[in-house]
Structure 1
C-alpha cells in the first residue's frame, strides 16, 4: 500500500556558486589546513560528493572520505577532539549527536539538502501523528528534529535491510522524506509504507529517455543508479545502490565504461579505485535555466578549501550545536541504525 502526504518544499533557496580558486590558491590553503588540523587536534571527514581537492585533502591528512553512514561511524570512533565535516548540515548534526563532547565544525552552516528543507519538523510530525500505529523510518538526509521524531534513521546503504527487517516483524511504516528511495525499497520488500513526498534535486533530474539515448551511444557502458532517482531511471540500471555500493559495483563489473546517475562528485573516488575505466555523467534536464543541479548538489559545492580554512581559523559561525533534548531523541533512532549495521557486519563475518 502506498499513500501520499502533500508535496512540501518544491522551491529551494539555492546558494550562490562558490568562487573558483586558482591552483596556487588551492595549494596554499591545503598547506595551511594541514597545519591547522594538527594544531587543533582536528580531523577532516568528507562526503563522496564534495570537490576532489577536499576528498584528497581528507585522505592525505588521516581523515576519511565516505558515505553518510561511514562518516558517522568514523567521526564517532576517531580520537580527534574536533571534527570538521565537509558535506551538508545534516551530516554535521549527526556527528554532533553521536559525539556531543567533540567540537563539530562545518565549512558553511548554510549548506543544506533539498530533502531536509522539504521535510520540516512541524509538517512531518503532524503527518506522523495522524498514523500513530506506524513505525517512523526517516532517511539520514533530515534535520536532527526529524530524526528525534523517528523510530529509526537509515542511510541508502542500509535502508533496504532495515525495512525488510521491520516488515518481517509485521510493522507498518511511515517513510520520509525521499519518495523515490521509498518507492524503490517498497518494490523490493512489498512493505506497507506510507510515503512523505520529498526528493533530491540532483537525482530527481535524471531522465530515462535521455539515458536510453546515451546508452545507445555507449552500448557497452554499464549504468549505475542511486535509488533516489526516479523509478524509470532505476529500471535502466545495471547496478542500483548507495554511493559506496556504486563504487563497489564499478570495481566489480567488467565494463570499461559507466554511465553514472548520481552526483558527479563521486567520480573522484571511482576514478581513483578504477583508473583504467571511464565514467560518464547520466543526463539531467540539461544545461542552463532548466537544470537546477546539473548532477552536482549546489549545497555540497559550498564546501571549499577556503571555507574549511576559515572554519578552522575561527569557529564562529561554523560550529554545529544541537539542543540537548533533540539530540537525545535523535540519538535513539541513530543508534538503532548503527547497532543494526554492526549486527549485520557480524553476521557477514560469521558466514565468511
Structure 2
C-alpha cells in the first residue's frame, strides 16, 4: 500500500456532549435545517445520533452514491452531507448548482488518500491499453481520469460487462475489493495498491474463533475486507446489500464485518436479531479504526451546527469546474448502466 497514512495525524476527539446538551443542539439543528431549507444526507457509517437526526428531519441515509443521487433529486438547494470529503465532492459533481455543506472538510478517506491523482495518472499513462475503472471512494480528480466509476454493489456487473467486450482494466483504489471482483469475474485487472483501514483490520483468525462461539450465526462481510475474511462469509455485499440480506436470513445472530456505524440502520431493519461486531486484528487500542472510521467520527452534532451557522462559508464543498464535466462522463456511464 502507498504509505500515505503513516504521518497522518487524526484530529483529537471532541469532548462528548451530555444528554441534555445533545438534545439542545439537536433541536437547534432542526430549526436551522428548516430555516435554510436544507436537507441532511448521511452515510451508514456516521454516528447513530447523526443518523437518527437525519431520519427525524426527513433526510436520507445511504451509501455514497445513493446520497448523491438523493440530493440531486431532492428539491432543496442546500445539502448537508455527513460523511467524508469525497462524498461531498460526488454530490457537488452531480448537483453543481446546489450548495453542498459538510460538518467538516477535514474528514478524509484512506482509499482517497491512498490514491493521489498525480501518481494514479502516471500509473494509468504507463498502461494506455487499459480502461480505467475506479471505485466511488476517490477524489474528483481521480474520477475525472476514469472511464467508469463503480460502487461495491454494481462493480461485478460492470466489470463483467467490460470483460465481455474484451477490455483490459486498471482498477483503483481498493486492492481487496479489486481482488474479490477479479476472482468473481476472471477479468484481466491491474490493481492499484490501497485499502480501507476499517475493513483491512478484520481478522480471519479471530473471526474463526467467533464463529466457534456463535456456531448458528451468519457472517456478513463487506468485500473491502481481506480475502481470508471474505472466504468465511455467508453473505458478501455492499452496505445496502448487507442490510437487505439481513432481512431475509433465517439466522437470529449476525456477525457483521464492516464499519459498526451500519448497526443503526441494520438493527432497525431486523430488530429481532442480535448483531455482533466482527473482531479486528487490532484487538483494542492498537488498531487504527477498531471497526469505525476515524474520519466518519468527525461528523459530530457540534460540527454540524457550526456548518449551518458560524462556519457556513468555510464548510462549503467546491470542485474544480474543469473536473466536473470529465467526472460526470464516468458517473453517467454507471448511472445509465443496466445489467
Return the TM-score normalized by structure 1.
Answer: 0.94
Deviation at 1:221, TM superposition (A): 0.7
Q: Is the 8 A contact 1:8 1:198 kept in 2?
A: no
Match of 2:67 in 1: 71
1:92-139 Cα distance to aligned partner (Å, 9 max, x none): 000001101100000000001000001000100000000111110001
SS of the residue aligned with 2:101? strand
Q: How many residues were matched structurally?
A: 337
Q: Is the 8 A contact 1:178 1:199 kept in 2?
A: yes
Whether 1:7 aligns to 2:9 is no
Q: Once superposed, which parts of structure 1, at least 4 consecutive aligned residues long, lie more than 3 Å away?
A: 286-289
Match of 1:348 in 2: none
Query: Counterparts of 1:217-228 in structure 2 under 5 Å?
Result: 217-228=213-224
SS of the residue aligned with 2:81? strand
Deviation at 1:268, TM superposition (A): 0.5
SS of the residue aligned with 1:313? coil
Q: Is the 8 A contact 2:221 2:230 kept in 1?
A: yes
1:135-183 Cα distance to aligned partner (Å, 9 max, x none): 1000111100000011111111111111111111111100000000000
Match of 1:39 in 2: 35
SS of the residue aligned with 1:194? strand
Q: Is the 8 A contact 2:201 2:282 kept in 1?
A: no
Deviation at 1:329, TM superposition (A): 1.1
Counterpart pick for 2:335 among 317, 334, 338: 338
Match of 1:22 in 2: 18
CA RMSD of aligned residues (A): 1.1
Counterpart pick for 2:254 among 250, 253, 258: 258
Counterpart pick for 2:109 among 113, 120, 133: 113
Counterpart pick for 2:138 among 125, 139, 142: 142
Distance 1:288 1:190 in 2: 37
1:288-342 Cα distance to aligned partner (Å, 9 max, x none): 44211000000000001111111011312210000100112111111111111xx
Distance 1:162 1:209 in 2: 32
SS of the residue aligned with 1:260? strand
Distance 1:236 1:167 in 2: 27
Counterpart pick for 1:179 among 175, 181, 185: 175
Distance 2:98 2:268 in 1: 31
Distance 2:14 2:148 in 1: 35
Whether 1:316 aligns to 2:313 is yes
Whether 1:205 aligns to 2:205 is no
Q: 5+ residue gaps in structure 1?
A: 1-5, 345-352
Q: Is the 8 A contact 1:8 1:119 kept in 2?
A: no
Distance 1:206 1:313 in 2: 39
Q: Is the 8 A contact 2:5 2:113 kept in 1?
A: no
Distance 1:68 1:161 in 2: 18
Whether 1:153 aligns to 2:149 is yes
Q: 5+ residue gaps in structure 2?
A: none
Deviation at 1:9, TM superposition (A): 2.1
SS of the residue aligned with 1:321? coil
Match of 1:281 in 2: 277
Deviation at 1:10, TM superposition (A): 4.5
SS of the residue aligned with 1:43? strand
Residue 228 to residue 142, structure 1, CA distance change in 2 (3 Å): same
SS of the residue aligned with 1:44? strand
Q: Is the 8 A contact 1:106 1:319 kept in 2?
A: yes
SS of the residue aligned with 1:164? helix
Query: Counterparts of 1:261-272 in structure 2 under 5 Å?
Result: 261-272=257-268
